[in-house]
Structure 1
């Protein structure tokens, strides 16, 4: 652990030096009790001074380590892309990152202003860069920021690269001794790259001619609004209405408790707008626009679809329009099973990976589509090897266009999936903790003494720690089927990789025969399964 006084003396930012000097001895000890862990493709934490926060000194030392890692791998002088979102500190962090890499001899393409994260991933792949850094904390609370690393090909960093970089961070020079060289943000490659990204969307997915589809859209105070509007309009969607007080980037996210479309209440303004304008589709992007949530009018009421529902809808649409021979579609160990059924019916190969797009985009070839239940969708892996909320928005709009042109809608498309493959209900339950030992205790209990039943259904446990394949991870699955019906239940328990909480992922499924003739029983079956899911949650260990 670095010495506090040495760190303060070497901090190149006078604001964070002053912040540390103003702390009490107890506060200073807390700031230096740990360092940000370099995992999940990079760093993420609160914007504050010291090694346990996101600040210029941490970014400088991290970037120095990243550069040395690239040089050690034989990539001295290679192209590296740097971009950022609009969070507190992002401009300063991106500037420091670009300057350190430039001083190390890299050809740095610094994207001007703010950029959606998928555009940075695209630039890494499009420009043949050996790495890219996105300064973003995605959908984290306003106090946070982060540092996300992509490698050659535009996919997120994976082990052992992350641990190798973390070791180099631990031995990095004091921040004020790391060389830096100014980098212009006025690089012609940046504008050309953005244009190629937007042009690729219509090349890949086509264009809706004179579409009647009306769309409600929110970028949730993030950086994806302008790009999403341009992409949708180029794809033929001119009737797009935005949530006005959420459109401009704002690092304080004033209208939402958490800037995450999955959070209860976060999409209320969007759904109200959709109802007011009689929309056909509602779209919520998260603040860095790498995730996309879809809303629709279901049984007369506007609601956000789950990530699993959207995943199955987009997956079926893409499978129905591809000429790939045995395409690959992918989900994770916590994804629902509906897309697997859709893929099987379409003759595609379904692959299960660990959570996170760093694994999903490496599921196999030819990869057509990958998604995770946390509203992440990779709809064009040839161009963007990560989740991309903007391209997913275009695909959702095109799917809606074809349904509306046929006198149908998204709700009918979802109902058809349930008729064909059974009604699937997925939900989550999280336990947020202040003491991480509590998560350890719950996971230990699930392994040593798992529940025999959930909501009266006998279940068995599958400990993923004991696996000897690529799915080995800290998770426990509980699954079983009702003896007197075609209803099954599955629960996956795993600690969150980015927040101090334990997450339970639930899926309850009723067979296709439960949907009734022509889908007449889907609504009633869905209500019954939601009630069953609530009973399952009540039985879960806490």
Structure 2
């Protein structure tokens, strides 16, 4: 190997890599491969550090985890927070056990009392434990719904909030200044945390507002949420639960699904079949770290999954209906992100509460009420099946408490002789048909995603499906409202189209979020047919952008 700048850096990294497997892997790489591995380091996206399991600074490996943990500890110490409690959790992915142990040992060596969760846990358990255990920070080792060869490193700071800037940039800067990975001190830690886990499950079970039971079909998609969800359901009074046996135990290879993401085609086939077989009232699929929840319901044409927006409308309307009109509702906040449906804003206005729109990601949604003195967030959702139904308990998305609340809502509907489809029809009559769809374009890498966004900014379309549209570039905004997204909008109060395009923060994709709204003038079926046809027209154009 010639001594290029990259190879010199790589050789130094390899000589200090504490994991002989990744050191050997890097040593066997070609110069081109090393150039790619060392071209950049992992950075904090919408959900922390996340990348493929491989050696080098832009993969998830022991060296990166040690340096990240040292960096977080440095940032906390620079803020005078040394000696405060730290929570460390993990899912059941490849490498998670080793990464979580190393993380806890680094914090312990830096003088932080550290709780290393005794078992693999859902991500919201860590968020809850930080918020209610007085911890100054929490680390969750997870790649959520990414493919099996990925892992990640998610950071919560005090209050159980996912970190935002400038904390993320400060940690990245400290990582760049960190000692060699094999020189970072570590101190042994004994796993614990049983009490925090039990408190979380009990809290999740108490989001109910009514009584009655429903029959549930459940899959955790080979993730860590199965036992926790069952426990929460039983404590909440839902004992009629049927599980997809072959997907119930954690398995980091996710053998029965192509992608362990409830949004992906085919991922929920097994739970929908089970739901039909046992004549369930609802099908529930958790993603592997159980922070997201997908819902399936029976229809006259068979079972189907609800979109994240549909679930968001239903839960938002249900939660707001539990609050009496008056001073409390006036300061009640619900929120969704710029890529989610506009219907929640209309629902909120009808209830007399306050709606907030945030940037993409629960690190922003969790903070939706922080700039509104005297106001309280009660619900936030994002179209990617993320729901925060108990912000006082968990300031992040939480698939288990969302599942309990949905079943509670379903029990209330059934008591009135209504179905989920009836509730969706009612919302459409009140607020118009909102037809949504996501179009994702996979690209080779993040550079190609940036190139696609640049081309769209240079030559945005001026019409979509007959609508004259205008482009709003959120990169021109300032402060916390600035982000890499382009919004196309057109239409009037009765009929309009909206498309938000942005690069994924965790995968090499460019995503477009389409929404069409058509008012309902008596004939709901006709309005829905028109909205779906317009949505499909817009999607066909967006796919070619």
Q: Which interval holds the TM-score relative to the shorter structure?
A: over 0.9
2:222 is matched with 221
- Structure 2 unaligned regions, length at least 5: 1-5, 370-374
For 2:497 and 2:430, how far apart are their aligned partners in 1?
Answer: 19
Match of 2:335 among 324, 330, 333: 330
Shift of 1:337: 1.0
2:186 is matched with 180
Does 1:501 pair with 2:504?
no
**1:165-220: CA deviations, max 9, x gaps?**
101100100111111011001x3xx11112211222344435634x2x11111111
1:90 is matched with 96
Does 1:525 pair with 2:535?
no
For 1:73 and 1:298, how far apart are their aligned partners in 2?
Answer: 55
- After the TM superposition, list the runs of 4 or more consecutive aligned residues in structure 1 that deviate by more than 6 angstroms: none
2:278 is matched with 277
Shift of 1:388: 0.2
- Report the secondary structure of 2:329's partner residue: coil
**1:489-529: CA deviations, max 9, x gaps?**
1111111111111111000111132x52xxxx33x433332
For 2:54 and 2:423, how far apart are their aligned partners in 1?
Answer: 47
Give the 3 Å change call, closer, same or farther, for CA 471–76 of structure 1 in structure 2. Answer: same
1:198 is matched with 201
Contact 1:207/1:234, CA 8 A, preserved across alignment: no
2:387 is matched with 377
**1:82-103: CA deviations, max 9, x gaps?**
0000000000000000000001
Residue correspondences, number:
529
Give the 3 Å change call, closer, same or farther, for CA 74–469 of structure 1 in structure 2. Answer: closer
Does 1:20 pair with 2:26?
yes
Give the 3 Å change call, closer, same or farther, for CA 435–73 of structure 1 in structure 2. Answer: closer
2:520 is matched with 512
Shift of 1:435: 5.2
2:498 is matched with 490
1:168 is matched with 174
1:72 is matched with 78
Give the 3 Å change call, closer, same or farther, for CA 29–156 of structure 1 in structure 2. Answer: same
For 1:3 and 1:458, how far apart are their aligned partners in 2?
Answer: 52
1:359 is matched with 364
For 1:465 and 1:75, how far apart are their aligned partners in 2?
Answer: 34
For 2:51 and 2:121, how far apart are their aligned partners in 1?
Answer: 20
Contact 1:280/1:409, CA 8 A, preserved across alignment: no
2:242 is matched with 241
Contact 1:231/1:394, CA 8 A, preserved across alignment: yes
Q: How do residues 131-150 of structure 1 correspond to structure 2 at under 5 angstroms?
A: 131-150=137-156
For 1:412 and 1:526, how far apart are their aligned partners in 2?
Answer: 14
Which range is displaced more, 80-89 or 334-343? 334-343
**1:306-352: CA deviations, max 9, x gaps?**
11110010011111113533210001111101111111110110000
Shift of 1:242: 0.9
Does 1:129 pair with 2:135?
yes
2:69 is matched with 63
For 1:151 and 1:321, how far apart are their aligned partners in 2?
Answer: 31
For 2:365 and 2:342, how far apart are their aligned partners in 1?
Answer: 16
Q: CA RMSD in A?
A: 1.7
Does 1:537 pair with 2:545?
no
Q: How do residues 471-482 of structure 1 correspond to structure 2 at under 5 angstroms?
A: 471-481=481-491
2:372 is matched with none
- Report the secondary structure of 2:387's partner residue: strand
**1:197-251: CA deviations, max 9, x gaps?**
1222344435634x2x111111111000110111111111111111111111111
Contact 1:41/1:150, CA 8 A, preserved across alignment: no
For 1:201 and 1:46, how far apart are their aligned partners in 2?
Answer: 32
- Report the secondary structure of 2:46's partner residue: coil
Shift of 1:446: 3.3
For 2:467 and 2:344, how far apart are their aligned partners in 1?
Answer: 24
- Report the secondary structure of 2:356's partner residue: strand
Give the 3 Å change call, closer, same or farther, for CA 299–459 of structure 1 in structure 2. Answer: farther
2:456 is matched with 446
Which range is displaced more, 365-374 or 433-442? 433-442
For 2:198 and 2:313, how far apart are their aligned partners in 1?
Answer: 30
For 1:59 and 1:469, how far apart are their aligned partners in 2?
Answer: 30
1:344 is matched with 349
Contact 2:490/2:498, CA 8 A, preserved across alignment: yes
Shift of 1:438: 4.3
- Structure 1 unaligned regions, length at least 5: none
Contact 1:139/1:287, CA 8 A, preserved across alignment: yes
Shift of 1:436: 4.4
Shift of 1:469: 6.1
Does 1:401 pair with 2:411?
yes
Give the 3 Å change call, closer, same or farther, for CA 11–168 of structure 1 in structure 2. Answer: same
Shift of 1:299: 3.9
Q: With structure 1 as the length reference, what TM-score do the two structures score?
A: 0.94
Give the 3 Å change call, closer, same or farther, for CA 337–457 of structure 1 in structure 2. Answer: same
**1:345-399: CA deviations, max 9, x gaps?**
1011000000000100111130010000110000000010000000000000000
